[in-house]
Amino acid sequence: MTNIILLGPPGSGKGTQSKLLVEKENFFQISTGDILRKVVNSGSDEGKTLKKIMDKGDLVPDDMVIKMMLNSVDLDKEKKIIFDGFPRNIFQAKTLEKKLDEISMNIDFVIFLDVKFDILEKRIKKRILESGDKDKRTDDNESTLIKRLDVYKELTFPIIKFYEEKGNLYKINGMLGVEDVNNKINEIIR
């Protein structure tokens, strides 16, 4: 089965493209952002701790996010999996590789959605305006977005080289329209 990682800065379209791949291509999406937000919304003590970290735009500590991801999903060879928002640093990339290796699974395609930073800002601002009170993300504001982008540049961007060296990195112009980006992804994975 085909397994992919969608990699890209905040607002690059990872969630949007995952949704299309789930709907049209029968993929199973693992979004660490969604998993973490569920814990936050539960109101538990752990959720309160996570909220503080996420509202600042920092990464959740590796041990927490890895444990939550593995507890909430069944890494199943029969599923076509999209990893959305994971891995986010070299440690997570190596941990995922080791975990998949143990169960004879692997990542076939790492798809990097390349979007210029000024466009990301515009997209997130648009998302803030369009989302209703219920869907509003507390990390979608100007100062947190700047921090999320800084964290991305420092910790997540270096994993592009990690996958480039492995030979499974594919870069897509994420500034194309949603359907065009989706077509490019399909050209790669088919």
Distance CA 173, CA 93 (A): 23
Indicate whether 125 belongs to the interface with ligand AP5 (CB under 6 A). no
Indicate whether 5 belongs to the interface with ligand AP5 (CB under 6 A). no
- State which amino acid sits at residue 129: L
- In the complex, which residue's CB is closest to ligand AP5? 33
CB of 43 to ligand AP5, least distance (A): 17
- Sheet with 28-31, strands from edge to edge, namely 28-31, 81-84, 4-7, 109-114, 169-173
Indicate whether 85 belongs to the interface with ligand AP5 (CB under 6 A). yes
Q: Which residue has the tokens 């790669």?
A: 188
Indicate whether 99 belongs to the interface with ligand AP5 (CB under 6 A). no
Indicate whether 112 belongs to the interface with ligand AP5 (CB under 6 A). no
Cβ pair 28, 82 in contact under 8 A: yes
Indicate whether 127 belongs to the interface with ligand AP5 (CB under 6 A). yes
Indicate whether 51 belongs to the interface with ligand AP5 (CB under 6 A). no
Core vs surface per residue 109-128: b (16+ CB within 10 A) or e:
bbbbbebeeeebbebbeeee
Q: Which residue has the tokens 């995922």?
A: 96
H helices of 73-116, in order, are 90-102
For residue 167, what is the DSSP state?
A: T
CB of 91 to ligand AP5, least distance (A): 10
* Token output for 110: 């790492």
Q: Which residue from 57, 79, 60, 42 is spatially nearest to 10, judged by alpha carbons? A: 57
Cβ pair 35, 72 in contact under 8 A: yes
By beta-carbon proximity to ligand AP5, the closer residue of 34 and 78 is 34
Q: Give the footprint of ligand AP5 on residues 162-181 (CB under 6 A).
A: 177-178, 181
CB of 21 to ligand AP5, least distance (A): 12
Indicate whether 11 belongs to the interface with ligand AP5 (CB under 6 A). yes
Indicate whether 184 belongs to the interface with ligand AP5 (CB under 6 A). no
Indicate whether 39 belongs to the interface with ligand AP5 (CB under 6 A). no
Q: Contact residues for ligand AP5 (CB under 6 A)?
A: 8, 10-16, 32-33, 36, 53-54, 57-60, 65, 85-86, 88, 92, 123, 126-127, 139, 148, 177-178, 181
